[in-house]
Amino acid sequence: MFFLSRGYRVIAHERRGHGRSSQIPDGHDHYAQDLAALVTHLELKDAVHIGHSTGGGEVARHGAKRVAKAVLISSVPPIMVKTPANPGGLPKEVFDGFQAQVAGNRAQFYLDLATGPFYGFNRPGANVKEGVIRNWWRQGMMGGAKAHYDGIVAFSQTDFTPDLKEIMVPTLVMHGDDDQIVPYADSGPLTAKIVKNATLKTYRGFPHGMCTTQADTINADLLAFIKS
Amino acid sequence: MSNMQDTITTPDGIKIYYKDWGKGQPDRLLPWVAALLGRLGRAADVLSQSRLPRDRA
């Protein structure tokens, strides 16, 4: 609504395996191809592509075709999992644990995520919003369990470094330094170093889901970047 | 402003759902509303201050 009220055209799609799209498991190559197919279908040109979390990986891999600017918010690139080339990443066992919880009791896992770390609602003094929690859970449960199970590998083990090097358009990297899902130190700052024309905005104390919990701040900064 | 909700089918036969809200219209009402609220607020301040002595009494 924020951007519609300011005269912008707003389009959002639901990733394969998620929401109302086909319930099929897959990975980041197809995620990006689906985005490209939608851009072609709608004949979009000079669009600003904004991706949050795993969506930031889609924007990165999609590249700069018909793109005027890119924004990566709390995003997974360059790569989340710990490797010899990415010593600051999270151990693979963390993501194996996510998969075990999706396979074991997805409904409870999603409730725990939304109630706790995703929005920083587990922090002392947090302004917990029940509606936000329920909406996250609703959206999560609309997707396919197998797609989400496989998606954990896709978002954690895909190395977007080559994709980031190909981005030439102005890019805004927005990341909260209290992100408990995609830890700040191993994501936003590294991405901003790799992308040639990137600006890093660091938000002190903001959580992974800052687009919702701090919408006024994020929307204002997005608008300023789009207008710049 | 349109409110299209649709799907595309990818080359490998997958349906991708999307929403295209179309191009929005800049909200021209907001500045007028803000100005009106500002005037009402200032009027309320004046009224409340003018009543203070009597209220206190």
Based on the residue annotation, tell me whether A163 is a catalytic residue of this protein.
no
Nearest residue of B to residue A34, measured between CA atoms: B10
Q: Which of B17, B50, B27 is nearest to A38 (CA)?
A: B17
Of A5, A12, A21, the CB nearest to B24: A5
Task: Kindly state the average pLDDT of the residues A148-175.
Answer: 94
* DSSP β-bridge partners for residue A166: none
Interchain contact, A16 vs B19, CB within 8 Å: no
Q: Which of A160, A172, A193 is nearest to A78 (CA)?
A: A160
pLDDT tens-place string over residues A78-90: 999 999 999 999 9
The confidence score (pLDDT) of residue B1 equals 45
The confidence score (pLDDT) of residue A146 equals 92
Q: Which long-range contacts (CB under 8 A, 24 or more apart) does A114-118 make?
A: A114/A140, A116/A180, A117/A180, A117/A181, A117/A207, A117/A208, A118/A180, A118/A181, A118/A207, A118/A208, A118/A209
Whether A188 shows a pLDDT value over 80: the answer reads yes
The confidence score (pLDDT) of residue B42 equals 62
**Where does the pLDDT of residue B56 fall: very low under 50, low under 70, confident under 90, or very high at 90 and above?**
very low
Give the mean pLDDT of chain A. 94
Residues A26, A28, A52, A53: which is the catalytic one? Answer: A53
The confidence score (pLDDT) of residue A85 equals 94
Q: Rounded distance, CA A91 to CA A89, Å?
A: 6
ipTM at complex level: 0.85
Task: Kindly state the average pLDDT of the residues B21-34.
Answer: 66
Interchain contact, A7 vs B16, CB within 8 Å: no
Residues A26, A34, A163, A179: which is the catalytic one? Answer: A179
Q: Which of A109, A154, A137 is nearest to A209 (CA)?
A: A137
- Chain A hits for B2, Cβ within 8 Å: none
Whether A5 shows a pLDDT value over 80: the answer reads yes
Whether A175 shows a pLDDT value over 90: the answer reads yes
The confidence score (pLDDT) of residue B51 equals 47
Whether A99 shows a pLDDT value over 90: the answer reads yes
Interchain contact B28–A (C-beta under 8 A): no
Based on the residue annotation, tell me whether A21 is a catalytic residue of this protein.
no
pLDDT tens-place string over residues A40-70: 999 999 999 999 999 999 888 876 678 999 9
Interchain contact B2–A (C-beta under 8 A): no
Judge: domain A4-227, CATH 3.40.50.80. no
Contact between A186 and A95 (Cβ < 8 Å):
no
Which of A1, A2, A9 should we substitute to test contact with B (largest number of B Cβ atoms within 10 Å)?
A9
Helix spans in chain B (H): 29-56
Task: Kindly state the average pLDDT of the residues A110-116.
Answer: 97
Interface size, chain A vs chain B, as Cβ–Cβ contacts under 8 Å: 73
Interchain contact, A7 vs B24, CB within 8 Å: yes
The confidence score (pLDDT) of residue A30 equals 86
Q: Give the amino acid at A35.
A: L
Q: Please report, rounded to a whole number, the percentage of residues in chain A having pLDDT higher than 70.
A: 98
Whether A223 shows a pLDDT value over 60: the answer reads yes
